[in-house]
């Protein structure tokens, strides 16, 4: 089976895992549950749960304990999109070709759907304790929960969102340091959560988990810089969205600040370092390496 | 020391506990952290953490493990107020005589501050595992986390919020069943979380925790019906807010549906049953009983 086929098969399996943890749409909360599922069920690459599961496998993990965390991380990713699209935030009406949650269900329901997904994520992850059969296992789950909270929260993704809306509104001046802060927090933090939690739950050493954190930071930042590069070098046909929008909107990005060549060089450096880390452990996961390459070298 | 003095002293101690878990206001997330603290630091009775701590003491609990959960529950209560006040929800500009978070910091920042508090609540509660010294202790913390998630989430408080905004917008017809559903979920659920988590962390039996859940439901519902009664029987001077607003707004409440006498009778029945439960355990907590009485018999 080639990489694309394997990725497709794995994506389908992950979607079945997530589906298990979505609430049934019934009772007085029916509309809320519909609004929550509307976002989570929209098709995507399920990148974060996939990176989590593959990191878990890299360190020899094979049990179900990873599943509630995979579902939880996808819920957190989706709640952040639902709230990010709100009129009070980015005011986006479409995402992946579908109406956004607030357009479909109203603003109040979109606020509650996001809250509901964030809360359900932690409720779901906390449910993983049912798989713990001894004190050491429950300690790994506790550690995974804390990584999830930390990377999704004010020192992680929410912190990045905050800096991003302040920069876009002009309340905070954009600097190179701030660009990297936003990339690291807004994008890389959930990728770090994915890869660190996978490693922790498989029983990896603290030193290995630290290296996964570093690899994931590189992957997340490279992914974002590649986004900015494509905005300059790609065509609207390939990208499926308007190109050149960063320059038009006078948006300061790593590319507009450093030029295209330096940006490409940085993507190369970050990804080589990340792959070097992934290949430095006792076991290998070739699919994980291929997935990382496909993310960073993508053309759309 | 009389009850009021003791309550005041305990409130101050609880505020010191909560303060320990609030983030320092620094870095690129400074404004976010200010907005989060703005809500949590506004003065209140700290009823939920107080009920939690007193329930913990009722079952002989005496260690620090309760503290992160006390802070977490207060964060959850406050995030729900921050989001509830948003223009897309209740559109309130003032709360307890101060500008609401979105008026003070803007709508986008208020969405993020609420998200930040909800996420920090679970992050804080998950931190309680550092106090677990064996498998049984970590099991109690895991159970407490799941109660927190369940009672705050779509089957608890968020579920009640959803039904409430649908009823107020006329999308859902108000019935007696729906009034009680909203009271139970929107108000009683966090009181249940408080009292159940206190009991669980102190090592109470499953049967005792179930009875605390029942007592807390009664307390929460009685508290809400008392609110509706005061809207009819009190004066603006005593209440500090306009009376008669439910009738004026054609709001259907337990009182407008059943009359004032039946409502008073129901408050009496619910509170007697709750106090009966609290007095049925091996140990007693007179302060807890007095606190419950003061909530239900209050005149403002």
- Cα–Cα distance, B255 to B200 (Å, whole number): 35
The answer to whether the beta carbons of residues B18 and B246 sit under 8 Å apart is no
Confidence (pLDDT) at B97:
86
Give percent of chain A with pLDDT exceeding 70: 96
Residue of B nearest to A33 (CA): B154
Confidence (pLDDT) at A248:
67
In the A/B pair of chains, how many CB contacts fall below 8 A?
178
User: Is the pLDDT assigned to residue A193 strictly greater than 80?
Assistant: yes
Return the SS3 of A41.
coil
User: Is the pLDDT assigned to residue A240 strictly greater than 70?
Assistant: no
User: Is the pLDDT assigned to residue B194 strictly greater than 80?
Assistant: yes
pLDDT in tens, A33-86: 999 999 999 888 999 999 999 999 999 999 999 999 999 999 999 999 999 999
pLDDT in tens, B221-262: 999 999 899 988 877 677 666 677 777 666 788 998 999 999
pLDDT in tens, A156-187: 999 999 999 888 888 888 888 999 999 999 99
- Cα–Cα distance, A267 to A224 (Å, whole number): 9
Hey, CA dihedral for A44, B115, A157, B73, is it positive or negative?
Answer: negative
Rounded to a whole number of angstroms, the distance from the CA of B101 to the nearest CA of chain A is 14
Residue linked to tokens 């509706």: B228
Contact yes or no for A119 and B149 at CB 8 A: yes
pLDDT in tens, B60-100: 999 999 999 999 999 999 999 999 999 999 999 998 889 99
Confidence (pLDDT) at B248:
67
Contact yes or no for B159 and A27 at CB 8 A: yes
User: Is the pLDDT assigned to residue A249 strictly greater than 70?
Assistant: no
Nearest to B154 among A83, A89, A120 (CB): A120
From the centroid of its chain, how far is CA B39? 15
B21 vs A contacts (CB less than 8 Å)? none
Nearest to B145 among A126, A161, A171 (CB): A126
Among candidate residues B251, B256, B231, B36, the one with its CA nearest the CA of residue B124: B36
Contact yes or no for A109 and B161 at CB 8 A: no
Copy the structure tokens of residue B150.
Answer: 């369940």
CB atoms within 10 A of CB B22: 17
Nearest to B83 among A109, A115, A150 (CB): A115
- Cα–Cα distance, B151 to A270 (Å, whole number): 43
The answer to whether the beta carbons of residues A51 and A288 sit under 8 Å apart is yes
Confidence (pLDDT) at B130:
96
Confidence (pLDDT) at A174:
84
User: Is the pLDDT assigned to residue B46 strictly greater than 90?
Assistant: yes
Grade residue A11 by pLDDT with cuts at 50, 70 and 90.
very high
Contact yes or no for A83 and B111 at CB 8 A: yes
The answer to whether the beta carbons of residues B299 and B227 sit under 8 Å apart is no
Contact yes or no for B31 and A86 at CB 8 A: no
pLDDT in tens, A200-211: 999 999 999 999
Looking at every residue in chain A, the average pLDDT score rounds to 93
Rounded to a whole number of angstroms, the distance from the CA of A124 to the nearest CA of chain B is 8
Top-confidence residue, A171 or A226? A226
Residue linked to tokens 């992050």: B123
User: Is the pLDDT assigned to residue B163 strictly greater than 90?
Assistant: yes
Nearest to B159 among A28, A88, A135 (CB): A28
Contact yes or no for A166 and B31 at CB 8 A: yes
Return the SS3 of B94.
strand
B150 vs A contacts (CB less than 8 Å)? 123
pLDDT in tens, B261-291: 999 999 999 999 999 999 999 999 999 999 9
Q: Which residues contact B80 (CB under 8 A, 6 or more apart)?
A: B114, B157, B161
B159 vs A contacts (CB less than 8 Å)? 27-29, 32
Grade residue A244 by pLDDT with cuts at 50, 70 and 90.
confident
Contact yes or no for A89 and B83 at CB 8 A: no
User: Is the pLDDT assigned to residue A300 strictly greater than 80?
Assistant: no
- Cα–Cα distance, A174 to A23 (Å, whole number): 41
Nearest to B152 among A32, A119, A172 (CB): A119
Nearest to B126 among A118, A142, A181 (CB): A142
A279-290 in b/e burial notation, b at 16+ Cβ within 10 A? Answer: eebeeebebbbb
Specify the long-range contacts of residues B8-17, CB closer than 8 Å, at least 24 apart.
Answer: B10/B50, B10/B53, B10/B287, B11/B45, B11/B46, B11/B50, B14/B46, B14/B49, B14/B50, B14/B53, B14/B70, B14/B74, B15/B46, B17/B49, B17/B67, B17/B70, B17/B71
Alpha-carbon dihedral B208, B210, B212, B215, rounded to 10 degrees: -130
Interface with chain A: mutation pick from B25, B132, B141, B162, highest number of A CBs within 10 Å? B162
Q: Give the C-alpha distances (Å, rounded to integers) separating B10 from A145, A275, B19, B245, B246.
A: 31, 54, 14, 34, 34
- Cα–Cα distance, A57 to A135 (Å, whole number): 22
A176 vs B contacts (CB less than 8 Å)? none
User: Is the pLDDT assigned to residue B218 strictly greater than 70?
Assistant: yes
Confidence (pLDDT) at B59:
98
Residue linked to tokens 């479409």: A94
ipTM above 0.90, yes or no: yes
Contact yes or no for A122 and B83 at CB 8 A: no
Residue linked to tokens 């739950």: A201
pLDDT in tens, A74-123: 999 999 999 999 999 999 999 888 999 999 999 999 999 999 999 999 99
Contact yes or no for A154 and B28 at CB 8 A: no
Q: Give the C-alpha distances (Å, rounded to integers) separating B236 from B124, B230, B243.
A: 39, 10, 6
Interface with chain A: mutation pick from B153, B176, B177, highest number of A CBs within 10 Å? B153
Question: What is the bridge-based pairing of β-strands A98-99 and B98-99?
Answer: unpaired
């Amino acid at each position: 089976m080639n990489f694309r086929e394997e990725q497709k098969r794995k994506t389908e399996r992950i979607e079945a895992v997530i589906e298990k943890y979505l609430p049934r749409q019934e009772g007085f909360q029916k509309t809320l549950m519909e609004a929550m599922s509307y976002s989570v069920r929209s098709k995507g690459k399920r990148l974060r749960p996939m990176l989590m599961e593959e990191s878990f496998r890299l360190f020899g993990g094979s049990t179900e304990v990873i599943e509630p965390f995979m579902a939880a991380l996808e819920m957190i990713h989706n709640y952040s999109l639902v709230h990010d699209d709100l009129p009070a935030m980015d005011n986006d009406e479409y995402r992946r070709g579908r109406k956004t949650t607030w357009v479909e269900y109203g603003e109040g329901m979109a606020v509650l759907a996001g809250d509901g997904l964030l809360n359900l994520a932690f409720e779901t992850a906390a449910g993983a304790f049912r798989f713990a059969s001894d004190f050491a296992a429950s300690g790994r789950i506790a550690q995974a929960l804390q990584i999830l909270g930390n990377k999704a929260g004010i020192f992680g993704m929410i912190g990045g969102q905050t800096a991003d809306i302040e920069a876009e509104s002009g309340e905070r001046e954009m600097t190179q340091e701030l660009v990297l802060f936003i990339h690291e927090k807004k994008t890389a933090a959930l990728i770090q959560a994915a890869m660190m939690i996978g490693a922790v739950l498989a029983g990896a050493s603290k030193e290995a988990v630290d290296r996964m954190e570093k690899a994931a930071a590189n992957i997340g930042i490279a992914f974002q810089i590649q986004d900015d590069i494509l905005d300059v070098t790609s065509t609207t046909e390939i990208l499926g969205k308007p190109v050149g929008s960063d320059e038009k909107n006078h948006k300061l990005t790593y590319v507009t600040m450093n030029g295209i060549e330096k940006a490409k060089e940085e993507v190369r450096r970050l990804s080589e370092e990340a792959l070097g880390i992934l290949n430095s452990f006792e076991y290998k996961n070739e699919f994980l390496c291929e997935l990382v390459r496909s993310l960073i070298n993508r053309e759309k």
